[in-house]
Structure 1
Amino acid sequence: PVQPVQPVQPVQPVLPAQPAQPVQHQVQPGGLSLLPVSRIAPLADMANLAPVSRNVVFGLAHNTLPANLAIFLNSFRKHNREASIVFWLNAPLHQRTREVLTRFGADALIYDAAKDFPASWGSYHPSTTRWPLFKAYLDRHGSLVDNVLMIDTRDSAFQDDPFRYLGAPQGAPLWVYEEDTIISKNGWNEGWIRDCFGQQVTTSLGKNTVICSGVSIGGIVAVQRYLEEMTKVMATEWFHKCERNGVDQGVHNVIIHRRDVQGEFLRIADQRSGWIAHLQSNFYHVGGPDDAPVVTNNEGEKFAIVHQFDRNEKLALAYSKLYVYWNIEEDGYCDAFETRQDLDLFFKQCDMGKTGEITAYTCCASCAVRPGCKGWTFANGCWLKNCDYDPQSARPKSHAGAVSGYLKQQ
């Protein structure tokens, strides 16, 4: 088993963070300001993509569909037109993705993992590689930045400008947000920590609440301290033994709960009264009309960020209608697939995993951009498949409303 980086003492209970209060937001004279000009460049040109605002949004959008980027960017620009947005995306870039980035003034650094990433990263999952990429950008441009939002791009939307809640430039702490369970009662998080840090660390942190790594926001000093700790663990000689999708959240919980990021630079907030919603937790309410829903916390206050919106079908459908400005079926992702209605063609066969897609088309598109995916079934979720459809050996199951797809014969 992998040994801990250092001995860890039992952590004292976390004091609840004081609620952040929105700071005054100045309206530009003469109405809305112009959006920043989008710049799209290879990863090697990162030095030439300095931020144009002192508030910066970071996101890694590996295999992210244009529609998801539109929900993210369109909802954000509704509340903030000035902040710099920097995405890291894998090549090749879909033409619609380029259009969305340009329309909403987002920068993009395009990478080819096999060519651009260090050999030591091996086959690391994108959820891991994002942290050293974020750190490298701030190592180069940090003097031009006051505040940073680090966020999942595929399943996040905005109801307010999150930078309004941070207060003093540069001096803001790092805000992180709890989920609704403790580490010892969540098999995924407990497993990530145990496999990377050993049983002693896992036991000592077991009574602490799980903290989601999908959204963190703070002043530049606090963010850089956090990224230093995250990447320090990822650079150890043993990390590759435990690395996999999601394990970055295990690292995130360890460095937060054992205070590798010093207390004065850190605030841990809960779901009941905070301003960032993780919909995997149940402490939220959806109100308002179906075509313009509003997500609030238990205090009746509107969340600034809605993360994991695809966990709520009503929200996901509403956001698609509100923020996606084209017919997504025009994007051509599914042209390579044959489809069958009311059938599960791959019943209990060759599952790659389940995604949060809410339509058969987006399920199909997710398969199209996923390496190794050869088929899919949309039935009570989107099930991606890694085997070819063989009519001779298949065991199709009738399922009203289901849609299945498989690659056309070349």
Structure 2
Amino acid sequence: MKNRYKYIFITDARDVIFQRNIFDYVNQYDEGLFVFQESVKMTIKKCSYNSKWIKDCYGDTELERIGNRSIICAGTILGSWRPMLDYLSIVEQITRSKYRQCNDQGIHNYIVHNNVINNTKIHIITHENGFVATLGYRGIYIRNKFGLILNRNGQVYAVIHQFDRIKQINDQYNIEYQLWPTLTQQ
């Protein structure tokens, strides 16, 4: 499979929509792992969920160490073949050893902020200027005339994650991309 696929994108399924081909955005970077910030204004320590996930898995010392860093979302991860397999191997090892107290977001932030993957370039892509939007903490959304959501530079995001947290966007997508008829339709 390595010769067939250069990049792998793993993502949540329920709250993700594609606006463009995500693989078109990686040509300007070296190979590696691409991870996506939720918002430069929100840190792990400021978020009750993310701080709990780090603390539950790694304790107060680790929370203090990385708590002032940006939240990196575990719901969208892109990587070239080898770095992605290395990343998933580390996630599996941690999950097996700490499966009762850790969740994927805590593990993901630990791996990224501690640069745990040997010989791998980790590209931390900002929400504000990047090609993946994670909408959980963002308040203002810029759209083009077609309704596509844009980053701060006016470029179309390839992927929108957590769209269901914003009522207006969720309603729009439910109308535009309805796959299953509701029970009220005959």
Match of 1:272 in 2: 128
Which of 35, 60, 72 aligns to 1:176? It is 35
Aligned residue identity for 2:92:
T
Which of 131, 148, 160 aligns to 1:306? It is 160
Question: Whose strand proportion is higher, 1 or 2?
Answer: 1
Moved over 3 A (4+): 141-144
SS at match of 2:20: coil
User: Which of the pair has more CA radius of gyration?
Assistant: 1
- Is 2:89 aligned against 1:228? yes
* Aligned-pair CA distance for 1:294: 1.5
Match of 2:49 in 1: 188
SS at match of 1:185: coil
Match of 1:198 in 2: 59
SS at match of 1:267: strand
1:330 and 1:144 mapped to 2: Cα distance? 44
Q: What percent identity do the matched residue pairs reach?
A: 26
Name the structure, 1 or 2, with higher relative contact order (CA <8 Å, separation 6+): 2
* Aligned-pair CA distance for 1:281: 2.6
Flag structure 2 segments of 5+ consecutive residues without an equivalent: none
Alignment check: 8 A CA contact 1:284 1:297 kept: no
Summarize the Cα distance change of 1:227–1:325 in structure 2 as closer, same or farther, 3 Å threshold.
closer
SS at match of 2:93: helix
1:268 and 1:328 mapped to 2: Cα distance? 39
Which of 141, 146, 149 aligns to 2:9? It is 149
Superposed, which structure 2 residues align to 1:395-410 within 5 Å? Answer: none
Alignment check: 8 A CA contact 1:271 1:281 kept: no
Flag structure 1 segments of 5+ consecutive residues without an equivalent: 1-140, 332-410
1:326 and 1:183 mapped to 2: Cα distance? 37
- Is 2:98 aligned against 1:242? no
Structure 1, residues 217-274: CA drift from partner, whole Å, max 9, x if none? 11101111111111110111xx13314xxx2100000011000024642100111110
1:262 and 1:304 mapped to 2: Cα distance? 28
Normalising by structure 2, report the TM-score.
Answer: 0.88
Q: CA RMSD in A?
A: 2.3
Match of 2:113 in 1: 257
Summarize the Cα distance change of 1:241–1:212 in structure 2 as closer, same or farther, 3 Å threshold.
same
Superposed, which structure 2 residues align to 1:5-404 within 5 Å? Answer: 141-142=1-2, 144-167=4-27, 172-180=31-39, 181-236=42-97, 239-243=98-102, 247-262=103-118, 264-282=120-138, 285-288=141-144, 292-329=146-183
Alignment check: 8 A CA contact 1:189 1:249 kept: yes
Aligned length: 183
2:32 and 2:139 mapped to 1: Cα distance? 24
Match of 1:52 in 2: none
Structure 1, residues 186-215: CA drift from partner, whole Å, max 9, x if none? 111111111111111111111111101010
Aligned residue identity for 1:156:
V
Aligned residue identity for 2:168:
K
Alignment check: 8 A CA contact 1:173 1:265 kept: yes
1:230 and 1:217 mapped to 2: Cα distance? 15
